[in-house]
Amino acid sequence: MLPPSLARTVNEYHARHGDLIRQFARFVGVGLTAAVAHFSTLAILVEMDAVGPVLGSAVGFVMGGIVSYILNRRFTFDATRSHAGAVPRFIVVAGVAFVLNETLMWLFVHEVGLFYLLAQFLTTGITMMWTFTGYRVWAFAHRSTVRG
């Protein structure tokens, strides 16, 4: 049982930020689904000796990105922006995440010497914070009805 002052603080925080917390939880759920697509593509390509871990991660990133767009648009952000408006914005945010993903994978695998799946796990956690923010405030943000 929480002390009354801490319980009050937690309740106030939840009342103020509950929608954001629920949205982030949905984003994590969608992200886990996209990560399955990403990681399985990566592992299959690397384990079949088709490509190295950095290129495999790039291909997996694209596969996960497709899953991410479809599910985040529908379930996480309940986007009202048209596909024509959302897709280019999604691609910009995902493009920055792609560069971040490839840079971190290269550093973690080739410079630090981490096992490629551990490197991808760490990279995914870092890029997740960027993508949630970018998708929430820009790519899937509700269209303004005010024209300027």
At residue 148, does pLDDT exceed 50?
A: no
**Among 2-11, 81-90, 139-148, which stretch is predicted with the lowest mean pLDDT?**
139-148
pTM recorded for the entire structure? 0.76
Q: Within 13 A of 85's CA, how many CA atoms are on the CB side? A: 12
Mean pLDDT, rounded, for 108-116:
96
Tell me the two tokens of residue 93.
Answer: 């945010």
User: How deeply is 90 buried, as exposed, middle or buried, from its count of CB atoms within 10 A (0-12, 13-18, 19+)?
Assistant: buried
What's residue 143's pLDDT? 62
- Among 63, 72, 64, which residue's Cα sits nearest to residue 24? 72
- Is the Cα dihedral 49, 53, 55, 59 positive or negative? positive
What is the rounded CA–CA span in Å between residue 65 and residue 128?
12
Q: Are residues 61 and 124 in contact, defined by beta-carbon separation less than 8 angstroms?
A: no
pLDDT 10s digits, 31-76: 999 999 999 999 999 999 999 999 999 999 999 999 999 999 988 9
Angle 124-38-84 from CA coordinates, rounded to 5° = 90
Alpha carbon 127 to its chain's center:
6
